[in-house]
Each structure stands twice: as structure tokens, then as C-alpha cells.
């Protein structure tokens, strides 16, 4: 039997909603796909060639389907009424108020969306959780959705998204897996099959995993927690490497070649950032505590504690090397995005590093190829004169006492460091928070070089 789904709607046109729906529309011309948002500016940007997010390769995918079977709109309620299947991809940030503030997820956007769906619907629909949610959220959603009083049925599926920013197009086109959780009732299984049928247009069937709703919800939190845990594990080892003259990249290579461990996500860094790792682990910790699993909660909390420690440690290294004072010194920050190939700065370690340096009265000169607009907003409350934003890395470095690499943009390893060295104050320092530069070459030029998890190369 062919699927009853023809019209797909996604509520939330952000980093997940926009790219995932563009891919579905591009791969499945037989479905009408609409993406709605309460933010008219975002919607206008999706309709233009200046998309609201920077993501390599995304514009081509959007253009393939936009105007054919992919539409962006702020007309939320009529779009709900037309839809057979509704993905909900609104933001689920950490709560900043009330019970669980700073830890629990803020589900107000999700709940408001569920209420709008109930209000605007006059027939049964499938509702797909695309946002990352605490395990058992579907239960709460079902209670809201079934409070419609007119006998409508909303089948709730969990279809968490695993794309990473900067590689979203490839992650969506060739995912390691797609996960679909449903209730194991006839209606749940039929809804699950309707969603499997959509992905099967381009994802091999064996990569489309199905499970119960709770496993799907929890798998998303667990996947992010495991990934972040690897980064904290290698970062904790980087601290020990610096004390013992071991080299963290050599250690990572040695342990990563064990096929049980694997080589990926073992790159020591100034810390992980991004909108999700921290909030999802906080969410996991909060859920564990609420079930009385104190030891489990503590275990995952440590992943976050090591991440904060790594940022603090990076700034302490800068201070210690620069004679315990950076007051009135210019420090060029190379990179502000939380990783390369994105303009996103949410939870970027660069924000914390910049703020700590500013507290020490340094002047930070920020360069980033894509994230300067966000950096401006992130540091808007810094004291006058403490922040400069620079589009040219050579100008950013001119007159600086130190460079700190905070994002691993490819361009940074290709700069002319002889010229940069000539234009800087002496002694000149490099703090490589991503280990992307050629440290021996920089040392030979005259820099005092402080890599992460390796011996410093100094002239002093
Ligand atoms: P985002 O903030 O970029 O986008 C969310 C959008 O939802 C915003 O444009 C906002 O205006 C809109 N919105 C909020 N309330 C709304 C409402 N009531 N009606 C219509 N629109 C509404 O967030 P994001 O990064 O796309 O993340 C969305 C979810 O996906 C989160 O739960 C996140 O954890 C998860 N996720 C994100 C990523 C990622 O790489 N960013 C990856 C996987 C999963
Ligand atoms: C992450 C996950 O990789 C995605 O699977 C998930 O869908 C997404 O979170 C989400 O739920 O939002 P993302 O945050 O976009 O994706 O980027 P990652 O590549 O995971 O990097 C996260 C952070 O860890 C970055 O700051 C990155 O620089 C850092 N990192 C990553 C390291 O410091 N070392 C590494 O070896 C890998």
C-alpha cells in the first residue's frame, strides 16, 4: 500500500529544520515539503540565496527543490492543516529560569508547537520529534495532542537528527543511520513505515533503524554524550601530556588504531562547543537525577567539568607564558566559530576564552571567516575598546603580542607566518588550541609556541 503522506511540514527553520527538509525535498519530488517558522527574517533568508546559516553545499540542495516542492513560510496554522506529517524541529535550549534552571531543557517551544498543532488540525496526523528531547517527552506530547476533544489521532514518532554542522549536507545525504522510534501498535507501526518510506528514497534500508519511541529519544542523548565524552577523554590526557612530555597526537594515534576504540573524535582541543553537546549532557544528567541515578548523573557531569577545565587551562597557559599579565596586550583570536566550516558560535569555547582574556584587561582582536557577525553579538557587552573584529587575519595579528588559534579553519595553516611574525610585538607567542599549525616551523621563525598536549617550543 502506498503511503497516505503527501504533504510534509516542518515547524522550525533552523540548523536542523532547513537542511533536513531541503534534503527530503531534493530527494523526493513526489512530496510537497513546507518549512515554517515564527521568525520572518529567517524565512526570508531561506527564500533568498543568502541562507540564514553557512553550511557548505547547502545552497545547491535548496535550489534543487525550492519553488518546485520546497516552500518556506510564516503561515503556520494553514500549513499545519494541509500537512499529513509534521516534523517538529524547534529549539530546545537549557532552561534559564525556575526549577532545573541551567540544567533541564526548556520545552516551552515544543509544547507551544504541540498546542498549535492541536488548534490548527481538523484531521489525523503523524507528528515527528526531530528536536532533541529528554527521554519520555513523546508521552507528554501525546497527552497534549490527545487533549483535542474532537477525537483526532496524532501518532508521535521520534526521529532524532544526527547531522553535524559544517558537514550537514554529506551527513544528510549519506547518514551512518537514520533512527525512527514508534509505538509498537498497528497505528504506530503504520506511521513508522510512512516515515521509513520517505528516507528509503535515498538511504539504504539497512541503515534505517527502527526502535521503540523511548529508545530513539534516549539514543540521541546517549550518542551526543558518548561523542563529547571522547573529546573530554582526550582533552584530559592532553593535560597529562603537557606535564610528562608525551605528545597527545601520538597518543591519540596509538589508541585510535585499536579497532575497538577507533580514530575519530580523538582530536584534543581547547574544548568542545556547539549548541548541543552541553545542553544534551545537562539534560541527561538532569534526567538521571530525576530517576535517583546519582552515580550515573555524576559520571556524565564529569564530561562537562573536564570541558570547562580545558578552557580554563588554555587561558592559564596564555597567562603563565606571558609573564602572568595580558593587561593592555593585544591578543589575536584566530577563529570564533565552535568548529570549522560553520558560522555558528553557540557555546563556542572562543566565547569563554575571549571573556576571560577581557577580564584580564587584554584587547582581543577576533578573526573568523564566517562567524564575525555572531562574535559581535556574543561580545556585545564587553567594555568599550576591549574587542576588535577583523576580516583580515594579517591585520588582526598586526601589533599583537600573541595569537591564539580557537577554530581549526583550514586557512590558518596556509598563512605566511614570517610576515605575521614581523608585524607582531616581541616576544611573539602562538597558542594553538586546535593543533593545526606547523609548530616546529613557527618556532624556527621566532615564535614561542604553545601547542595543546605537547611540549612548548620556547626561546625564553
Ligand atoms: P535553531 O535555533 O537553529 O532553530 C529552531 C527554530 O525554531 C528557530 O528558527 C525558531 O524561530 C523556531 N521556532 C521556535 N519556536 C517556534 C514555534 N512555536 N513555531 C515555529 N517556529 C518556532 O535550532 P537547531 O539548531 O535547528 O536545533 C533544533 C533542534 O534540533 C534542537 O532540539 C537541537 O538539539 C536539535 N539538533 C540540532 C543539531 C544542530 O546541528 N544544530 C543537530 C541535531 C539535532
Ligand atoms: C554534534 C554531533 O556530532 C552530531 O552527531 C549531532 O547531531 C549534533 O552534535 C547535535 O546534536 O547538535 P556538532 O556539534 O555540529 O555535532 O559538531 P561536532 O563535529 O560533533 O563537534 C562538536 C564540538 O567538538 C566542536 O567544538 C568540535 O571542535 C569539538 N571536537 C570534535 C573536538 O574538540 N575534538 C574532536 O575530535 C571532535
Active site residue 10: no
Query: Each residue of 72-117: pLDDT tens digit?
Result: 999 999 999 999 999 999 998 998 999 889 988 888 999 999 999 9
Nearest-angstrom CA–CA distance, 346 and 364: 19
For residue 251, give Cα distances in angstroms to 120, 235, 453: 57, 11, 10
Q: Is the pLDDT of residue 3 over 80?
A: no
Nearest-angstrom CA–CA distance, 159 and 85: 12
Query: Each residue of 173-193: pLDDT tens digit?
Result: 999 999 999 999 999 999 999
**27 touches 19 (CB < 8 A):** no
Angle at 172 between CA 168 and CA 177, to 5 degrees: 120
Query: Each residue of 402-431: pLDDT tens digit?
Result: 999 999 999 999 999 999 999 999 999 999
pLDDT score, position 255: 98
**256 touches 262 (CB < 8 A):** yes
Ligand 1 pocket check: which of 10, 11, 12, 228 to mutate, most ligand atoms within 8 Å of Cβ?
A: 12
Q: Which ligand is nearest to the CA of 162?
A: 2
pLDDT score, position 2: 55
- 86: DSSP letter: E
**34 touches 144 (CB < 8 A):** no
Query: Each residue of 267-294: pLDDT tens digit?
Result: 999 999 999 999 999 999 999 999 999 9
Q: Which three cell numbers stand for residue 413?
A: 595553516
Q: Which residues are CB-contacts of 202 (< 8 A; sequence separation ≥ 6)?
A: 27, 28, 173
pLDDT averaged over every residue in the chain: 96
Q: What number of CA atoms fall less than 13 Å from residue 324's CA on the CB side?
A: 0
276 lines ligand 2 (CB under 6 A): yes
What percentage of the chain reaches a pLDDT higher than 90?
91
Strand-pairing partners, residue 405, are: 334, 432
164 lines ligand 2 (CB under 6 A): yes
165 lines ligand 2 (CB under 6 A): yes
Nearest-angstrom CA–CA distance, 453 and 436: 13
Kindly report the backbone phi and psi dihedral angles of residue 10, in degrees, each rounded to the nearest multiple of 5, phi listed first.
-125, 125
pLDDT score, position 142: 87
- Nearest residue CA, atom 14 of ligand 1? 90
Residue 133 CA, closest ligand 1 atom number: 32
**Residue 155 burial by Cβ neighbours in a 10 Å radius (0-12, 13-18, 19+):** buried
pLDDT score, position 174: 98
What spacing in Å lies between the alpha carbon of 295 and ligand 2's midpoint? 25
pLDDT score, position 103: 87
Query: Each residue of 129-161: pLDDT tens digit?
Result: 999 988 888 888 888 888 878 889 999 999 999
pLDDT score, position 433: 98
Q: Is the pLDDT of residue 170 over 70?
A: yes
- Nearest residue CA, atom 34 of ligand 2? 267
HEC per residue, 215-283? HHHHHHHHHHHHHHHHHHHHHHHHHHHHHHCCCHHHHHHHHHCCCCCCCCCCCCCCCCCCCCHHHHHHH
* pTM for the full predicted model: 0.96
Q: Is the pLDDT of residue 1 over 60?
A: no
Kindly report the backbone phi and psi dihedral angles of residue 88, in degrees, each rounded to the nearest multiple of 5, phi listed first.
-115, 115
Nearest-angstrom CA–CA distance, 243 and 346: 31
Question: What is the DSSP secondary-structure string of 286-323?
Answer: HHHHHTT-HHHHHHHHHHHHHHHHHHHHHHHHHHHHTT
Average pLDDT rounded to a whole number, residues 47-70: 97
Nearest-angstrom CA–CA distance, 275 and 40: 22
> CA 204, 206, 209, 211 torsion: positive or negative?
positive
CB atoms inside a 10 Å sphere around CB 222: 15
What spacing in Å lies between the alpha carbon of 251 and ligand 1's midpoint? 37
Nearest-angstrom CA–CA distance, 321 and 429: 8
Per the omega criterion (within 30 degrees of 0), is the bond before 427 cis?
yes
pLDDT score, position 146: 86
What spacing in Å lies between the alpha carbon of 342 and ligand 2's midpoint? 11
pLDDT tier for residue 53 given thresholds of 50, 70 and 90: very high
For residue 361, give Cα distances in angstroms to 328, 337, 351, 357: 6, 23, 15, 7
Nearest-angstrom CA–CA distance, 87 and 130: 6
Paired sense of beta strands 7-11 and 125-129, if any: unpaired
Ligand 2 pocket check: which of 14, 236, 267, 274 to mutate, most ligand atoms within 8 Å of Cβ?
A: 274
Average pLDDT rounded to a whole number, residues 25-31: 98
Query: Each residue of 389-405: pLDDT tens digit?
Result: 999 999 999 999 999 99
Q: Is the pLDDT of residue 457 over 80?
A: yes
Amino acid at each position: 500500500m502506498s503511503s497516505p503522506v503527501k504533504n510534509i511540514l516542518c515547524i522550525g527553520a533552523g540548523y536542523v529544520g532547513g537542511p533536513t527538509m531541503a534534503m527530503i525535498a531534493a530527494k523526493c519530488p513526489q512530496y510537497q515539503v513546507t518549512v515554517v517558522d515564527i521568525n520572518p527574517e529567517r524565512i526570508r533568508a531561506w527564500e533568498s540565496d543568502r541562507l540564514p546559516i553557512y553550511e557548505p553545499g547547502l545552497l545547491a540542495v535548496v535550489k534543487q527543490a525550492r519553488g518546485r516542492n520546497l516552500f518556506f513560510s510564516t503561515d503556520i496554522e494553514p500549513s499545519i492543516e494541509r500537512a499529513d506529517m509534521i516534523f517538529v524541529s524547534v529549539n530546545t535550549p537549557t532552561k534559564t529560569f525556575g526549577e532545573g534552571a541551567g540544567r533541564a531543557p526548556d520545552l516551552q517551544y515544543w509544547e507551544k508547537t504541540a498546542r498549535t498543532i492541536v488548534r490548527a488540525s481538523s484531521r489525523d496526523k503523524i507528528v515527528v520529534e526531530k528536536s532533541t528531547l529528554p527521554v519520555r517527552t513523546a508521552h507528554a506530547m501525546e497527552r497534549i495532542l490527545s487533549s483535542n476533544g474532537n477525537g483526532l489521532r496524532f501518532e508521535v514518532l521520534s526521529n532524532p537528527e544526527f547531522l553535524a554542522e559544517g558537514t550537514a549536507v554529506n551527513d544528510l545525504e549519506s547518514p551512518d543511520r537514520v533512527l525512527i522510534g514508534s509505538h509498537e501498535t498497528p497505528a504506530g507501526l503504520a506511521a513508522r513505515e510512512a516515515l521509513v518510506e520517505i528516507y528509503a528514497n535515498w538511504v539504504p534500508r539497512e541503515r534505517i533503524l527502527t526502535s521503540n519511541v523511548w529508545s530513539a529519544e534516549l539514543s540521541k542523548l546517549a550518542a551526543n554524550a558518548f561523542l563529547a565524552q571522547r573529546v573530554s577523554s582526550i582533552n584530559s590526557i592532553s593535560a597529562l601530556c603537557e606535564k610528562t612530555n608525551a605528545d597527545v597526537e601520538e597518543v591519540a594515534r596509538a589508541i585510535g588504531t585499536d579497532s575497538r576504540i577507533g580514530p575519530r573524535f580523538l582530536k584534543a582541543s581547547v574544548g568542545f562547543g556547539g549548541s548541543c553537546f552541553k545542553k544534551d549532557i545537562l539534560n541527561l544528567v538532569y534526567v538521571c537525577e530525576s530517576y535517583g541515578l546519582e552515580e550515573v548523573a555524576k559520571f556524565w557531569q564529569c564530561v562537562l567539568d573536564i570541558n570547562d577545565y580545558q578552557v580554563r587551562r588554555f587561558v592559564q597557559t596564555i597567562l603563565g607564558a606571558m609573564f602572568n599579565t595580558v593587561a593592555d596586550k593585544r591578543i589575536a583570536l584566530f577563529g570564533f566559530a565552535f568548529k570549522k566550516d560553520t558560522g555558528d558560535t553557540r557555546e563556542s569555547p572562543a566565547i569563554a576564552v575571549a571573556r576571560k582574556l577581557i577580564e584580564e584587561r587584554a584587547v582581543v582582536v577576533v578573526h573568523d571567516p564566517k562567524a564575525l557577525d555572531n562574535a559581535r553579538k556574543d561580545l556585545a557587552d564587553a567594555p568599550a575598546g576591549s574587542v576588535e573584529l577583523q576580516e583580515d587575519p594579517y591585520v588582526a595579528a598586526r601589533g599583537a603580542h600573541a595569537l591564539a588559534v580557537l577554530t581549526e579553519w583550514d586557512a590558518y595553516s596556509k598563512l605566511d607566518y614570517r610576515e605575521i611574525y614581523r608585524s607582531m610585538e616581541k616576544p611573539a607567542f602562538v597558542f594553538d588550541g586546535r593543533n593545526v599549525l606547523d609548530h616546529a616551523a613557527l618556532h624556527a621563525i621566532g615564535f614561542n609556541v604553545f601547542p595543546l598536549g605537547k611540549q612548548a617550543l620556547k626561546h625564553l
